[in-house]
Amino acid sequence: MTEFTLHDLQCFDAVVRAGGFQPAATALHRSHPAVFAAVAKLERQLDLVLLDRSGYRVCPTEAGLSFHRRAQSLLRELEGLRTHAAQLAMGEESEIRVVIGDLCPRSQVLGMLGRFFAQCPGTRLHLHFEAVAGPWERLFDGEADVILHRVDKSDPRVEWVDLCKVPFIPVVAPGLLPAPIKRAIMPQQMREFTQCVMRDTARHSPQQDYFMVEGAPQCTVADQGMKKEIILQGLGWGHMPRFLIEEELRDGRLLSIAGRHLPGSTEELVAARRCDRPQGPVSNRLWDHIQQEAPALRRALEPRAASGPAPTKRRRPPLPSPRSGP
């Protein structure tokens, strides 16, 4: 048996994953004949039939499936080696791009970043604020090195550090509702009142709404601070992160309307970055710094979030990215 090449394995892997030679060629940015020839060569060298070409779509034979499982581990090692080599070739980054999402307790998160970048005078911090799906989109458009927001933890392209849990509570100002709150409020009861929602900063993601009451008039804002002020002035109602409204809940300037029909939610705030891309030395030190600071951030926020009536946790709407947020 003659030696086969990594190129042959990559072509075979792409055909199995894509289900055909043409989509595999497109994924690899190669020509159809080149991919076809590489797989045929691999079969000759192994003296095995790896693909069943008798149907409309090619599919791996039993031997092909077994060989593909073993080949995948080698290809993963190759990708890891390439990433490691790219990291070794990097010098100190001149800039790091961090995106803060609308779930973040800003003073604590900015303090964490400030302590780190005070020790890195040669690296400029490019800091951006995005809402709803904006942070996630920036990360996958290659416009962010680290985001501080919610993520889909099942996505194999990301790694994350858990920072804290952020309860969201539906609140109103006293006097917005026509009568005292005596029982669990139904969503349809809120339809006549203006609902204040976050403006999604994502540019090209499909629309998906959080907490939206269908048919209710809307007031759209760019950040949680403006949303809080609108609700305090009785101009609307909405879901707010508990860490922003604890004082107002205690002194009665805001009232929770959380109940079994409007349960609110608890979101997981994380720091996230791509694990399928090389990271430079400053980026890796920042990642270590975030991991070290995460317990202190949890201690600063979670005991406060636990005070008072806690909202029921509900399952997060799945990503991809929504247009209007909490």
pLDDT at 108: 93
Per the model's pLDDT, the better-predicted residue between 81 and 165 turns out to be 165
Exposed (0-12), middle (13-18) or buried (19+): which is 297, by Cβ within 10 Å? buried
Q: What is the mean pLDDT of residues 183-188?
A: 87
**What's the pLDDT tens digit per position in 190-207?**
999 999 999 999 988 876
CATH 3.40.190.290 positions along the chain are 167-266
At 326 the pLDDT is 55
Report the pLDDT value the prediction gives residue 306, as an integer from 0 to 100.
40
The mean pLDDT value of the chain amounts to 87
Whether the per-residue pLDDT at 309 is higher than 60: the answer is: no
- Tens of pLDDT, residues 85-102: 765 676 778 899 999 999
pLDDT at 325: 53
| CATH, domain range 6-89 | 1.10.10.10
pLDDT given at position 91: 72
- How does residue 55 score in pLDDT terms, banded at 50, 70 and 90? confident
The CATH number of 167-266 is: 3.40.190.290
pLDDT band at 122 (very low <50, low <70, confident <90, very high): confident
pLDDT digits (tens, 9 = 90+) for 230-284: 999 999 999 999 999 999 999 999 999 999 999 999 999 999 999 988 888 999 9
Do 97 and 67 meet the contact criterion of CB atoms below 8 Å apart? Answer: no
Concatenating the DSSP letter of every residue in 73-134 gives HHHHHHHHHHHHHHHHH----SEEEEEE-TTS-HHHHHHHHHHHHTT-TTSEEEEEE--TTH
Residue 207: predicted pLDDT: 67
pLDDT at 249: 96
Q: Where in the chain is the domain with CATH 3.40.190.10?
A: 95-164+268-305
What value, to the nearest 5°, has the Cα angle with vertex 103 and ends 160 and 224?
165
CATH of 95-164+268-305, one of 3.40.190.10, 3.40.50.1820, 1.10.730.10, 3.30.450.40: 3.40.190.10
Among residues 71, 58, 121, which one has the least CA distance to residue 95? 121
Q: Is the pLDDT of residue 162 over 60?
A: yes
Per mean pLDDT, which range of 56-65, 112-121, 236-245 is the poorest? Answer: 56-65
Residues of the chain with CATH 1.10.10.10: 6-89
Question: Residue 82: is its pLDDT beyond 90?
Answer: no
Instruction: Inform me whether the pLDDT recorded for 316 exceeds 80.
Output: no
Residue 311 has what pLDDT?
39
Handedness of CA 51, 53, 59, 61 (dihedral sign): negative
Give the pLDDT confidence score for residue 136 in this predicted structure: 94
Q: Mean per-residue pLDDT for 217-236?
A: 95
Tokens read off for 104: 């973040």
In this predicted structure, the answer to whether residue 1 has a pLDDT above a threshold of 70 is no
